[in-house]
Structure 1
Amino acid sequence: MNFDFVRHYWRGRLFTRLKRLNQALAAFEAALAISPNDLRVLRSLGYLHGERGAWQTAESYLRRALALAPDAVTWFNLGYLLDQSGRREQAIAAFREAVRLDSKLDRAWYGLGLAHAALGQHQEAVAALEKAGQLQPRNPHIWYALGMAQHHAHAPDKVEAVARHLLRFHPLVCGKLIQDTGRADLRHLVRELE
């Protein structure tokens, strides 16, 4: 065990938690100099550079990690990064690879749905968000996105079903969905809207 590597790695983790990104980056870079193929360090550097909006640098670290050990979470992180940098078609490919490797990775299904929706591919968005909703039946963000995708896919009955589902555990998000879809016929579901 290389104690210098361990020291730098754990300093990087600590500084990441403390939101001291420059110090975290320096610590992880020092760890990477000692162990250039450490997956944890490559993933951490990808994450931190992504947090700073350095998309190309972040992508290069994540792709190095994927070349060493392709796993669902790293594919998800790459998809998220690509989506945030506006490269939605590439994000969709990365999210698809993530769910191929782990079909229960709800956040990858969610990201896939949002990327499709951003491209106006509402049927594909619905399919991905339905899967995310099955995995996370009480996540209001997923269900709101699903309701909006159903709305844009011209499925009013399904929007109502999503609103009724949301009403069970998050009436505020249910109200937002009703307002954002212009569904005045559903206002009676949420008292605050009446």
Structure 2
Amino acid sequence: CLSIESKEAIDFDFIFRDVRNRKEVYAALVEAGGKAAQPGKALLTVAQILSDQEETDSALVIYDELLQRLPDNPALHTLRGNLLLRAHRLDEARRAYEKALELDPTFAWALRGLGWTAFQARNFEAAEAAFQKALEIKNDPVAWNGLGEALRSQGRYEEARFAYLQAIGQAPDFRPPYLNLARMNRDQGYFVEAIETYEAYLDRYPADLEARFQLGLAYFYAQRHREAARTWQKLLEIEHPREDYLEIFTYFALQYSGESEAAERLLRKKLEALNHSDWPASVFAFLGRRISEEELVAAARDADERKTLENLCEAYYYLGAWYRSVRQDPKTARRYFELAVETKVTDFIEYRLARIALGLEGE
């Protein structure tokens, strides 16, 4: 149990001298027990509030004041490291965790933090070593998940899968290993396994809209278009941050599954409601035959070279999907899929879908 109480009075004026939202801080202190009752715990509450507000420097003032009174408390050094890690101040975070481990070499919490710091620095072997050492001390689902991420990043997928499953087995309500395992399966082309993992996760967290979108995408990758369409149609009943792209993908899922009337109804409704001209509005205009394919490609061009490549990747994939699913013209579709792949926008969904359409990957 973490004890952070000090027998001395806390110098609140010193601690809050650089805090801009002073009223909120004092309100949090009163709610947490005030100056007289457990001031250390109250200050930790405030530090967390400031951290959540990305007031990193103000939160550090609080941790540093507490550490003046309790310099040998590894938990405080670890909490300080967590704050710095969250702010991506990796060298400072590493030093905070190392200080905690100087005080207590068996403090697994600090080892986990050291692992995540190395992971963020892309030193995956060091991350693996830190998570392994943490697991030798404490069999912990968070460390198993971190180990899975370190192993996945080294291309050791079977070992990573084992680590994720260990995390899930120990803590079935812990979200990250489900999503990390599903992503790894998807990225490796194991779409059936990705679907199973997303479904298991959504049984527990049905309100996660992003995971539901990804489930639909896994169905689409696996060419289970009807299931993709049903998944996405349910999402369209809710306001969704990916709405434009969600409607485009749903349109093609319906077309691929032979439900062209439903696809056209969706498109007509979108065109009636469309109130902007920004990309990808031109995609809807093309699908509604309001502009030509040449005009769609022209609309994809942007002053920014990277943005042009991204838009072209999307445009070429959508043209290929339209020729394949609507026009039933696989030869022209293939030409557009090849153009999408040639953009080399490897982190885009459309790039991946074009590769799958060309038979370059997938189960």
TM-score range, shorter chain: 0.7 to 0.9
Partner letter of residue 70 of structure 1?
N
Q: Displacement of 1:9 after TM fit?
A: 3.3
Structure 1 residue ranges (4+ consecutive) displaced by more than 4 angstroms after TM superposition: none
Q: Which residue of 1 aligns with 2:170?
A: 101
| Structure 1 contact 42–62 (Cα < 8 Å) conserved | yes
Which moved further from structure 2: 113-122 or 8-17?
Answer: 8-17
Greater relative contact order structure (CA < 8 Å, 6+ sep): 1
Residue aligning to 1:137: 206
CA distance in 2, matches of 1:44, 1:51: 11
> TM-score, normalised on structure 1?
0.85
Q: Does 1:122 align with 2:191?
A: yes
Identify if the C-alpha distance between structure 1 residues 14 and 160 changes in structure 2 by more than 3 Å, giving closer, same or farther.
closer
In structure 1, the residue matched to 2:142 is: 73
Pair 1:25-2:94 in alignment: yes
Matched, 1:56 2:125: yes
What is the CA deviation profile of residues 78-129 of structure 1, one whole-angstrom value per residue up to 9, with x for unaligned ones? 2223333433322211111111112222322121111111121111111101
The CA deviation string for residues 61-89 of structure 1, in whole angstroms up to 9 with x for no partner, is 00111121112222122222333343332
Which moves more between the two structures, 181-190 or 98-107?
181-190
Tell me how large the CA RMSD over aligned residues is: 2.5
- Structure 2: distance between partners of 1:56 and 1:22: 17
More helix by share: 1
- 2-side partners of 1:31 and 1:69: how far apart? 16
SS of aligned partner of 1:53: coil
Which residue of structure 2 aligns with residue 4 of structure 1?
Answer: 72
Q: Which residue is 1:166 aligned to?
A: 235
Q: CA 1:111/1:18 → structure 2, altered by over 3 Å: closer, same or farther? A: closer
Q: Is the 8 A contact 2:236 2:247 kept in 1?
A: no
TM-score, reference length from structure 2 = 0.48
User: What runs of 5+ residues in structure 2 fail to find an aligned partner?
Assistant: 4-69, 275-283, 289-363
Matched, 1:149 2:218: yes
Equivalent in the alignment of 1:88: 157
Unmatched 5+ residue regions in structure 1? Answer: none
Would you say how many aligned residue pairs link Structure 1 and Structure 2?
194
Following the alignment from structure 1 to structure 2, what is the Cα–Cα distance between the partners of residues 180 and 53? Answer: 33
Name the CA distance, whole Å, in 2 between partners of 1:93 and 1:55: 17
